Amino acid sequence: MQDVIDIVNYAFFSAIPIEFLYLDAFAQLFGGGIAFYMGSYGLITRFCEESMWAPRMGIFDGLATVSSMIGSAVAPYIFFQVDRRGPHIMSYRFMS
């Protein structure tokens, strides 16, 4: 839901009313990032032994942070090479 709202906001920013940007907060009603992390932690606890829960969750959190940093560093280069929608399309493609 969050991704769809972000794409619409970005693609039609000059054509839609400014109030449409409030829909970004509406996506948090469906869980947002909290639901993503709870689902990931749930999968870890479901399929790993209890002694491996903390290391696996640490690896997951570390990879999420590092991938966010790499994506933020690479996005401007993609922006200037591909198109103004390039970074958004790539981030939504890799996140889903």
Query: Are the CB atoms for 32 and 48 separated by under 8 Å?
Result: no
Place of tokens 């209890």: 50
* Annotated domain spans of the chain: 1-30, 33-96
Which tokens is 35 given? 């639901």
What's the confidence (pLDDT) of residue 2? 62
Cβ atoms of residues 95 and 3 within 8 Å: yes
Average pLDDT over residues 67-75: 81
Instruction: Look at 59 and 12; give whichever has higher pLDDT.
Output: 59
pLDDT for the residue 47: 92
Does residue 74 register a pLDDT over 90?
A: no
> Would you state the structure tokens that stand for residue 88, as one six-digit string?
């958004």
Place of tokens 């999420």: 64
Task: Find the mean pLDDT for residues 67-73.
Answer: 82
Torsion over CA of 33, 63, 88 and 14, rounded to 10 degrees? 50
